[in-house]
A and B are shown apart, each in its own frame.
Chain A
Amino acid sequence: MSLAQSAVIAGVYEHPTRWAPEKTAYQIHAESARGALADAGLTIKDVDGYLTAGVSPLGVMTLAEHLDLNPRYLDSTQIGGSSFVAHVSHAAAAIAAGLCEVALITYGSRASSERFAVGTGGQSPNDPPDQFEAPYGPTLIGAYAMCAQRHMHEFGTTAEQLAEIAVTTRRHAALNPVAKFRDPITVDDVLASRVVSSPLHLLDCCIITDGGGAVVVTSAERGRDLKKRPVRILGAAEALCHTSSGVRDLTAMAAKQSGPRAMAMAGVAHSDIDMCMLYDSFTITVLATLENLGFCRKGEGGAFVQNGRIGLGGALPINTDGGGLSSNHPGMRGIFLVIEAVKQLRGECGPRQVNNCRIALCHGTGGMLGLRHSGATLVLASA
């Protein structure tokens, strides 16, 4: 039986908190687990598979203890912010293989209240390549900025086109009551914000928040009579991109590999996809992801994002929750891509609902675009 026929997403929960100094990260995990299980109509005792990342290298064990879980399937895949997108397909594969039946994925972080410098901290010289990188002062933003600079040079992409992505995302955030930043911004506002790492301005960068979320994946059979209509997992794929011994094209992303694979597994074409949730660490991440997933040709991303195409009511609405650019970004945003896509497919998004939303694509990017990064793509469909 294929992965697509075997497993479904039965429940999701996005923690509404953006600032939680009075909570621990573990508490955010636990509250998110409670929310997603309640959404599915399941209890913690039903859980026999557990997946998480981002707490610590052995966080899956300490969190399982915190939740008093005794899972028969465990996964702590850590590939950066895309991890939780990958966890959905890992959970589905485990369920298809009979390794577990109800898999819980949780995420929680206090990046904001712990004043964690997500994008502008230093790099620690631990792994072998770091000795050739860390002494030069790369920041997370700097790595993405070098990709943006190259994209502008090769294709004539403009700062205004990048800004359009931030403006559209903010417009969506205004429709999400829990989004951190909801006041409208203009292209001029983005261009007038200070340059953090050229050519990226402050408003080209994701925000930093506390927060978390959870997703419950179960077998198609078990999903049939739960509380909510299950969301089907049609296709999934992962990929990595790195500097390829010093010859990588900095405008190429892992999405170029994972996107077509996931869509082929799903048996869908670009025109079938009603909305996308794309990792928006920076505006360039979105623009390059659209190109690498094949929604437009390479170099045409700048024109693609203009004229309302990626906004609600446009041909391809993206990041309807307000994304990492305006709603929330506790450091690893992948789980929110899945949560918002599921809500859209269930028609639960109120004023930000995409009309007749049947098929959604999630793409997570983890790590650093200009150095090493991962890509994880999911194609989801309403039941």
Chain B
Amino acid sequence: MAEAKSAKPLPRVDEESKGFWEACRRHELYLQRCRDCGRFRYYPRALCPQCLSDRTDWVLSSGRGSVYTYTVTYQNQAPGFRESLPYVLAYVELDQGVRLLTNIVGCAPEQVSIGMPVQVVFDDLTPEIALPKFQPAEG
């Protein structure tokens, strides 16, 4: 494993999530959709929590969505984060309907608002791990 570029925790990739993280490494955001009940889900896992089916499609997301809610974090004593204050923690609702916890980057924290259109960008933390984050969408 290559050296991380900060003290922030890296995702601990497991058998259920490695498809997601492998796609992120290619800068592609994939979501799981149950082949039996048709529901999208996030975070990724082997079985559909609605119907427990293991028949899953990985669907390429446009990576576009909007800010469902957010907070500007001014205090976090954990290594890696205390050096990057203030930062924006947010839930982004993707066009497919699922919400994911993320950071809003590429703008000043005070410019973030609920409903703001955003698009995915990838933060290459290591050669293996690229973390999906979101920035204000163009146009």
List residues of chain A with CB under 8 Å of any chain B CB: 117, 120-126, 128-139, 141-142, 145-147, 149-150, 153, 194-200, 243, 245-248, 250, 370-371
Contacts and interface: CB of A to CB of B under 8 A. Distances in A.
Contacts of B114: 149-150, 153
B111 interface: no
A246 B98 contact: yes
Contact of B72 (A123, A134, A198, A247): A198
Given A122-B76, A132-B43, A137-B87, A246 B16 contact: no
Contacts of A195: 72, 74
A288 to B, nearest CB: 13
B13 A131 contact: yes
A138 B45 CA distance: 21
Interface residues of B, number: 48
A135 B9 contact: yes
Given A136-B101, A246-B43, A194 B74 contact: yes
B135 to A, nearest CB: 14
A258 B17 CA distance: 32
A115 to B, nearest CB: 10
A250 B70 CA distance: 11
B71 A129 contact: no
B69 A128 contact: no
B9 A134 contact: yes
Given A132-B43, A135-B131, A243 B99 contact: yes
A139 B70 contact: no
Given A132-B100, A246-B98, A142 B43 contact: no
A194 to B, nearest CB: 7
A358 B15 CA distance: 54
A60 to B, nearest CB: 28
Across the A-B interface, the 5 shortest Cβ-Cβ residue pairs? A122-B78, A246-B98, A246-B42, A131-B11, A145-B71
A128 B43 contact: yes
Given A120-B75, A128-B16, A246-B100, A146 B70 contact: yes
B14 interface: yes
Contacts, number: 137
Tell me whether chain B's interface is mostly helix, strand or loop, or mixed: loop
Contacts of A141: 75
Interface of B: 8-14, 16-17, 39-43, 45, 49-50, 68-81, 84, 87, 89-91, 97-103, 114-115, 125, 131, 133
14 contacts: A122-B77, A122-B78, A125-B11, A125-B12, A128-B14, A128-B45, A132-B11, A136-B101, A138-B101, A146-B71, A147-B69, A197-B73, A246-B98, A371-B101
Contact of B81 (A128, A137, A199, A243): A137
B72 A245 contact: no
B81 A122 contact: yes
A133 B39 contact: no
Given A128-B14, A136-B89, A137-B87, A245 B77 contact: no
B100 A137 contact: no
Contact of A135 (B8, B16, B68): B8
A131 B40 CA distance: 19
B126 to A, nearest CB: 11
A371 to B, nearest CB: 8
A134 B79 CA distance: 12
Contacts of B9: 122-125, 130, 134-135
Contacts of B103: 136-137
Nearest to A141: B75
B49 A245 contact: yes
Contacts of B41: 245-246
A150 B76 contact: no
Contacts of A197: 71-75, 89
Contact of B68 (A117, A120, A122, A250): A250
Given A149-B114, A246-B42, A132 B75 contact: no
B10 to A, nearest CB: 6
A280 to B, nearest CB: 19
A194 B86 CA distance: 13
Contacts of B115: 153
B10 A125 contact: yes
Contact of A196 (B8, B74, B81, B89): B74
A125 B79 CA distance: 14
